[in-house]
């Protein structure tokens, strides 16, 4: 469930859903992590949103995609055809 209010003001810092998403993906600083986790533990609405974001991330799993050899060769051929060659 999304936070019904886009921003929550706490301790003179504004926290948004984007920052919670960064927290879920481990992209926050130590200070941001500490402040966000404090909000997660004390504000039920933020805890619910954090839980939903974390569940969504977990549901995605880790997808490993590898291009086929044909695609790699096409990319290399294109790169070679557009590269400038300088005679030094």
Q: What is the pLDDT of residues 42-61, one digit of tens each?
A: 989 899 999 999 999 998 87
Q: Which long-range contacts (CB under 8 A, 24 or more apart) does 41-44 make?
A: 43/8, 43/10
- What pLDDT was estimated at residue 4? 40
- Domains of the chain, start order: 8-82 (1.10.10.1320)
Which stretches of the chain are DSSP H helices? 17-24, 30-42, 44-60, 69-82
Q: Check residues 86 and 24 and name the one with the higher pLDDT.
A: 24
Would the pTM of this model clear 0.85, i.e. be above it? no
């Amino acid at each position: 469930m999304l936070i019904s209010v886009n921003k929550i003001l706490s301790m003179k810092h504004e926290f948004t859903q984007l920052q919670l998403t960064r927290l879920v993906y481990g992209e926050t600083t130590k200070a941001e992590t500490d402040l966000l986790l404090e909000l997660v533990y004390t504000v039920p609405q933020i805890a619910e949103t954090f839980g939903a974001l974390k569940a969504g991330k977990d549901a995605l799993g880790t997808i490993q995609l590898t291009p086929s050899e044909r695609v790699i060769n096409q990319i290399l051929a294109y790169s070679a055809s557009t590269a400038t060659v300088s005679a030094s």
